[in-house]
Structure 1
């Protein structure tokens, strides 16, 4: 493309395409996955297509198309891959949860409607997704609320400790109950913490990047700069001690450490953070019985099979995935209901049993795509605050998937986090839809053509390449 014919908002002849048509095509494929899986559950379990397939498929299509329309309207240059991948994962998760509902009913357990409740939570998540994109037209506005979001996140983390509304579920005090509703405030806190960390690190990046003593070719940070990471370490330990939530403790500390490294580009922070992590892990194992239980079950789950539900989860999940093999037994030909809490913590095990290792690998690839697109948005973002938010949110999903899949496959001890967009859980699903909205907003801002401030519709023939860069 010649300079004379270059679009007015191009950069040396290049401009990002909107790609909304590609997004729509991928969304159709995602709906085929979600609705097709729901129909396959009915055919495999009951021998007929579910009677509510049209109503279910229609509502799922309305939600997804509404998301596409809003993105096309308020974020036309946003990444075209994120929303379809999320829609496919959410649709597959709904189908697998419906399969478990039918299995629980056939086993004579108390009747559950996890799939129906999950669809309601998905509707709420989509509404917040739309609200986030419509209200937040520029992610840089969030930098004004750095300390406000930090205080709000701490308040949310403390809510489960309050008497009257805080509840202990499966040994972890991370829930609040308000009337008939229950919610896990830590899921919202993780989003607020990423915003707070990004704002703080943008302001103090230069000081935190200064090198201290050099040890084995690595410049360690100065002692006077260790305050923030020590505070975050102590907060993570407090979550482990008082709320007995190993997953959230690991997640929050990991988020801060990763964003700190991205902001400063100093490997010394990883060394210091890794050392603090191992010290905290050692202290947790020595002094807290619930940490000892998780580690012992991880090392020898068969030994504790009859004494601990956590051991039963790992053993039944591993048996199920071994029975499923490469291609799975098919919907209705497995026994995923044998896995305790298969609809939430161990939905990967249920997928592996009936859809096989191939489906598990496909799910992991989908998560890899989400993380890759999030990191791509961080790379092309024009401001440091947006870069840190996008990278932090992408790492939130990365760490969640790693610890969940690692726990299910006995790679690491169980931590209690949910599988994003797949597992049953309203708090997690709503928070993750907001995360995707923020990533789309940042990618739209990054891919949007830079306004032409030169006052000319086109670049003249005598403009040099350097002049073009200044103008754009």
Structure 2
């Protein structure tokens, strides 16, 4: 953005008739510095209206396809989403007026589309056994997520305050990651210990740990980036890091392996380690860290896969997703991946239409891990690409915020949060489509899961606070004082 310097031509600014010494011209407070940006809250409001109306049309489409009439709860759904979006927007106007105008509408649109698809799968409950309605709970968790979003926007006055809690964040994150290992896993968790169950209430602490870990990584790497960027020798075109600087990445690697072993959580382990490697590369600009990170992650996964039966089962299902349909299926095989691939195939380019697919055949995980299969069948390749564009825009706006941030901690924090979001989308989409082994994580905002939707609303809130600080126009410097006027000696005489 260019800078426009507007100068005043007031006679008091100096000149032959000013009656005093010439003074430097004062800059009017009407310019926008290169670091500033105009307030875009009206743009955000218009986009929010679209983000509420589009899910309402999808809701109506599902009702017409299933019942041949508009759903009775359509008005309540629209008013509820509109109220949540309006509250978030008004808080943004007051406490983050210069923040990015796209992030809030994008999150609202994704959350609304997820609610519609979960409700659509609830309607197939009569065809499935033990299929409880999940849409009311998801709507409640979405409201709690927006409430946490509002709390972060109001209470987090400056994102740089988080830097004070660098090592406290590490301790809290490790406690959250380790806590599920001390709670018994339920049969329906299929071997993964990533939830804490207290009666009918359950929470997935790893969703919140990814945000807290990002705070720690940003604070730590901001201080240590110069030491980590030093290289001791060059080998095959790569600058090898010094031996003592390999300590942090080895510690993180060991922690991720321990999580994978004790909790059999392939997704969180990949997200945890990948996030650190990405932030390490951004902080040091050394490609060698990426290479070492990939080699260590592949080596660790190979060792664990050969010894941990749950991880090995998922890898076998990835290598042969149709094995469950054989006359004699191998023990531990699952039909879900094959059913999801068939759902994608039956959707084709344009899809079967909302409410007209049969993705509910995926059964128990159709609303969570495999909800992309439902979107793929009913919206087709076109709809899937549109969803990935929405996710890509969230990541792009987050990285743009990192570029615009004025402090190194804010840059690293924005990169980390955007990378965590992107890695989670990649891990889930890659597992469902058969690109990588299935991890059991949930698609941000779309899938059923209270912890996921609440944590991702908090992630968006922190990104918006960094964006507000980065786009806020810098204050004009104080005018230079003019030379003091000489006393009128004649008058004194």
TM-score, with structure 2 as normaliser:
0.89
Deviation string, structure 1 residues 303-331 (Cα, Å, up to 9, x no partner): 23455776311111111111111111112
Gaps of 5+ in 1: 461-472
The aligned counterpart of 1:193 is 213
Distance 1:156 1:168, change over 3 A: farther
Is 2:345 aligned against 1:322? yes
The aligned counterpart of 1:387 is 411
| Aligned residue-pair number | 456
Residue 220 of structure 1: SS of its match in structure 2? strand
The alpha carbon displacement at 1:291 in A equals 2.1
Is 2:423 aligned against 1:403? no
RMSD value over aligned CA atoms?
A: 1.9
Contact 1:322–1:353 (CA<8 Å) still a contact in 2? Answer: yes
Is 2:98 aligned against 1:77? yes
Is 2:355 aligned against 1:352? no
The aligned counterpart of 1:452 is 476
* Residues 2-401 of structure 1: pairs in structure 2 closer than 5 A: 2-4=5-7, 8=29, 10=31, 15-103=36-124, 105-163=125-183, 169-305=189-325, 306=329, 311-340=334-363, 341-401=365-425
Distance 1:165 1:353, change over 3 A: closer
CA distance in 2, matches of 1:128, 1:7: 40
Distance 1:132 1:15, change over 3 A: closer
After TM superposition, the structure 1 stretch with the greater mean CA deviation from structure 2, 366-375 or 338-347, is 338-347
CA distance in 1, matches of 2:174, 2:356: 46
Contact 1:3–1:12 (CA<8 Å) still a contact in 2? Answer: no
Deviation string, structure 1 residues 207-238 (Cα, Å, up to 9, x no partner): 11111221112111100111110110001001
Distance 1:222 1:9, change over 3 A: farther
Contact 2:185–2:192 (CA<8 Å) still a contact in 1? Answer: no
Residue 334 of structure 2: SS of its match in structure 1? helix
Distance 1:15 1:132, change over 3 A: closer
The alpha carbon displacement at 1:11 in A equals 5.1
Highest CA radius of gyration, 1 or 2?
Answer: 2
The alpha carbon displacement at 1:275 in A equals 1.4
CA distance in 1, matches of 2:144, 2:236: 51
Deviation string, structure 1 residues 365-393 (Cα, Å, up to 9, x no partner): 00000000000000010111111110000
CA distance in 1, matches of 2:86, 2:58: 19
The aligned counterpart of 2:461 is 437
Distance 1:75 1:309, change over 3 A: farther
The alpha carbon displacement at 1:332 in A equals 2.6
Distance 1:333 1:221, change over 3 A: same
Gaps of 5+ in 2: 9-26, 482-493
Distance 1:111 1:69, change over 3 A: same
Residue 77 of structure 2: SS of its match in structure 1? helix
Distance 1:286 1:334, change over 3 A: same
The alpha carbon displacement at 1:149 in A equals 0.9
Distance 1:15 1:385, change over 3 A: closer
Distance 1:169 1:220, change over 3 A: same
Deviation string, structure 1 residues 393-449 (Cα, Å, up to 9, x no partner): 000111111111111111111111111100000011110000000000000000001
Contact 2:53–2:78 (CA<8 Å) still a contact in 1? Answer: no
Distance 1:248 1:374, change over 3 A: same
The alpha carbon displacement at 1:22 in A equals 0.7
After TM superposition, the structure 1 stretch with the greater mean CA deviation from structure 2, 341-350 or 162-171, is 162-171
